[in-house]
Amino acid sequence: MENKNYLPKFDQSKGMEFGVYSLGEHMRNPHNGKLLTAQERIKEIKEMAVLADDVGLDVFMLGESHQDGFVAQAHSVILSNIAAATQNIKISSGATIVSTSDPVRIFEDFSTIDLLSNGRVEVVGGRASRVGLFKLLGYDLEDYEELFEEKFDLLLKINQNEFVNWSGKYRAPLENAHIIPRPTSGSLPIWRAVGGGLSSAVAAGRAGVPMNLAMLGGPTSIYKRTIDGYRQAARGAGFDEMSLPIATSGFFYIAKDKQTAMREYYPHINEGMKQANGQGFPKQAFAHATDPSSIINIGEPNEIIERLIAHHEIFGQQRYMGQLDFGGVPVDKIKENIITLGEVIMPAVKKYTKK
């Protein structure tokens, strides 16, 4: 089957793409209790993206959240500012909460950023793991699944067609609606965010859209099943499953050795998860990061290089996104991580994964 969705372009001769992503969290540093102002934190996110561009990373991604502990409620506005401050790096949402947004406005906003950035924009559409925004924005949480599926399908249709006729349950009909502006290539790369659940991965495969898979913890075998399910669903729907890109993402932190990395990073992850989701990250589950089968990339550079290569051999993904700023990680540590990722880890892994 021909895939009508615009797929991200990957130069496999350069190896797996690398990037960093932020959820736009705004939390205290658990080591010293320091809390930045919202303005300082937004500027810090911009500095992360600019540095990622400077060291040659492929992608910078920023998520959307509407609750205490976050500053990226208007993530498209921040990404627009980042577009103006960078030159080469791809700029992506991660994720845009499609369920509680108007697909027309999503497309208008990100097409505009795409034009401003000379074609560097991607969209990752998600359902929301933090669900307080449903009440805030006037939606019924009981409609969680249906809202997303209907609106994501509409977003894909808008992406494929400049003039749209459509009707559904959760939005007014569109009658020969002219959806503009169009991005530089006519359509945007649109991914589906998957939080590890097999059903969402299968839905992404059946639709023939790229999958952005969040992997917060546990062994690689769990996520291998999800990726296999995605590819099997794509093949069953008539798509060439190996032509559909997969991005994997998860916690990432570099230090001089694994013990130091674990000691420094765990308080950030634990307190961040408490504030974002109501419960911390179990210490035993985090300790599993020392196991060779763990999906979490924490430790010294050579160890992380070996683990990323091993993950690529298992998953065959086209992109890896590291989350390294969650839970009040200080900006100096964030920048050290980005520099090491760009100058040490990325070149080594790209060399091994290029075709």
Asked if pLDDT for residue 4 goes beyond 70, the answer is no
Q: How many whole angstroms separate alpha carbon 75 and alpha carbon 26? A: 13
Q: How many whole angstroms separate alpha carbon 332 and alpha carbon 227? A: 35
User: β-strand 96-97 against 174-178: which pairing, if any?
Assistant: unpaired
Model pLDDT for residues 309-346, shown as the tens digit of each residue: 999 999 999 999 999 999 999 999 999 999 999 999 99
Asked if pLDDT for residue 113 goes beyond 70, the answer is yes
| 32 closest CA partner among 253, 278, 332 | 332
Contact indicator for 26, 58 with CB cutoff of 8 Å: no
Taking CA atoms, 254 is separated from 44, 49, 291, 301, 311, in Å, by 19, 18, 16, 6, 17
Model pLDDT for residues 278-290, shown as the tens digit of each residue: 899 999 999 999 9
Mean pLDDT computed over 62-86: 96
Model pLDDT for residues 80-96, shown as the tens digit of each residue: 999 999 999 999 999 99
Model pLDDT for residues 140-188, shown as the tens digit of each residue: 989 989 999 999 999 999 999 999 999 999 999 999 999 999 999 999 9
Record the pTM: 0.96
At residue 321's C-alpha, the angle toward residues 315 and 323, to 5°, is: 125
Asked if pLDDT for residue 229 goes beyond 90, the answer is yes
Domains and CATH numbers, the chain: 12-353 (3.20.20.30)
Model pLDDT for residues 119-143, shown as the tens digit of each residue: 999 999 999 777 778 888 888 989 9
Q: What is the pLDDT of residue 173?
A: 98
Positive or negative, the CA dihedral 99, 106, 96, 137 is negative
Task: Please state the φ and ψ torsions of residue 293, each to the nearest 5 degrees.
Answer: -85, -10
